[in-house]
Amino acid sequence: MVFPKPQEKAIIYRDEKLYVVLASNPLVKGHTIVVWNKDVKDLHILDKKEYEYLMNIVDKVRDSLMSVLNVKKVYLMYMDEANHVHWHLIPRYNIKGYELLKHKPSKLKDFSLVEKIKKNLFILQ
C-alpha cells in the first residue's frame, strides 16, 4: 500500500526519504504523521542507517510539537495495519493513555500550525 498523497498545505517537512504532515483526521490539535516515502511494510525492514534517520526526524518533530504546543508529552504510535512505515505523533493535553484513542477524529481544517512547526524544526536542526 502506498500512503495517500498528503495535502500540500499540511506538509511540515519533506525530503528524499520521508515527509512530515499534519494528520488529515487528527485525534487532537497537532496530531502529526511521519511517513517513509518508499513502500516499506514494517520497521524491521529498514536498515540501521534508515531507521536511525527516521527516528532522528521523529525526535525532532516531537520536540518541536512539545515546544510549539506547550505540552509536556507527545505520544509516539507505530501501528502497522497500513503496511507502510509511519509514526503518529499525538500531543497529550489533559487526557492520558488509551483514553486519547477514544477521541473521534475530525477533518483537518486549520493549517496554521504548519508554519509554526516548520520554523521550530528549523531552529532544532
Partners of residue 90 on adjacent β-strands: 75
Q: Whole domain around residue 28: which residue ranges?
A: 8-96
What's the rounded mean pLDDT across residues 7-29? 94
- Whether 118 has a pLDDT exceeding 80, the answer reads yes
Per-residue confidence (pLDDT) for residue 122, from 0 to 100 = 79
pLDDT tens-digit readout, 30-75: 999 999 999 999 999 999 999 999 999 999 999 999 999 999 999 9
Residue 101 lies inside a defined structural domain of this protein: no
On average, the pLDDT of the chain sits at 90
Q: How far apart are CA 5 and CA 119, in angstroms?
A: 23
Q: State the distance between the two ends of the chain, measured CA to CA, in whole angstroms.
A: 31
* Burial (Cβ within 10 Å: 0-12, 13-18, ≥19) of residue 34: buried
Residue 52 lies inside a defined structural domain of this protein: yes
Residue 113 lies inside a defined structural domain of this protein: no
Residue 45 lies inside a defined structural domain of this protein: yes
Q: Where are the alpha helices (DSSP H) in the chain?
A: 48-69, 113-124
Residue 79 lies inside a defined structural domain of this protein: yes
Residue 73 belongs to domain with CATH number: 3.30.428.10
Model pTM score: 0.91
Q: How far apart are CA 12 and CA 20, in angstroms?
A: 5
Residue 121 lies inside a defined structural domain of this protein: no
Please give the tally of structural domains in the chain: 1
- Whether 1 has a pLDDT exceeding 60, the answer reads no
